[in-house]
Amino acid sequence: MALASKKVVSVGSALVDLLAMADQDWPERQGFKPGGMVEVGAAKIDELLATTGAEPRQVPGGSACNTVVGLSALGAKCRFLGCVGDDERGGFFVSALRERGVDERLVRVPGGRTGTCLSVVTPDAQRSMFTALEVSGTLRPEHLSPDFFDGADLLHLEGYLAFNEPVFRRAVAMAKERGAQVSLDLAAWQVVDACGDLFRSEMKNVDILIANEDEARRFTGKEPAEALEAMAPLAPVVVVKLGAEGSLVARGDRRIVSKGIAVDAVDTTGAGDLWASGFLSGLLAGDTLQDAADFASLVGAEIVQVVGAHLPESTWARLRRRREMGR
């Protein structure tokens, strides 16, 4: 079935990503472990950005948003709900989603400041992320209107939304009431530590569960292969991403191993989010599980070769052709 006939809706943090390059020792000088994610205030982001000496690139971000932007680029109809301020960055976020073909249902908060995520990339392709949520965390259950889910085949959620438990639960309930599948990306091991009980309580409503190896380890206490077996009974489709090594996928009694694609990585920002775009596009279009996972690896390999979580249209066009050829 053509991906263009499928509709994906998503709810998550609307964050403007600020992408900056820094030298290898930058994280240590700032007192941070490279590769992590730290929640900070807006003033701290401005302070850290100044220390890089770099002019940042600005793009729409947030885990779920990155995934639906990727799905839109691959041909699906996509809709996104989140909160932005009525500031300049909020206006940028609205325009950027529209330009990328996403039906934005953004709530504008009067006088609010749009959330930002500073991603500092070092020469080893590691990225250190610093997030100021601002109004992005102020979404309320009443913002979830029934028409938002009209015609939806899939609701995609980022694990970060679990910090807003009423919205998380309401979004899942409304999607299931309307016959949509639910995919959940656990997002970060810190989120699993904080929200694992909520995830477990809602797992009966999750159709596609996506975790990287750190998240799977925190969720189950097991290494990747054993973690997959522990999670396999929880959802119809379960994924453990292995970064550059590929992925492990379970559907019922079936197990799939998808190998990674060796490339020279320059930035891992958004790699997991765009991997999910590739994988979900395959599932929605009716591709085999192996083809969906292999295509996801291809998308992931493309995104780590650029700075940030966005690919040029020429690359998306090539990926669309490749997915169609591989079916």
Catalytic residues: 273
Amino acid at 41: G
Tokens of 29: 């000088």
In 36-100, alpha helices (H): 42-52, 63-74, 88-99
DSSP assigned state of 221: S
Amino acid at 225: A
Name the nearest CA neighbour of 224 among 207, 208, 243, 237. Answer: 243
Element (H, E) at 30: helix 26-30
C-alpha dihedral sign at 83, 274, 121, 101: negative
Give the angle subtended at the CA of 5 by the CAs of 300 and 144, to the nearest 5°: 80
DSSP helix/strand/coil, 103? strand
Give the span between the Cα atoms of 207 and 19, in whole angstroms.
33
CB 227 within 8 Å of CB 219: yes
Amino acid at 114: T
The DSSP string of 143-169 is: G--GGGGTT-SEEEEEGGGGGSHHHHH
Tokens of 37: 């994610």
Amino acid at 23: D
Which neighbouring-strand residues pair with 60? 16
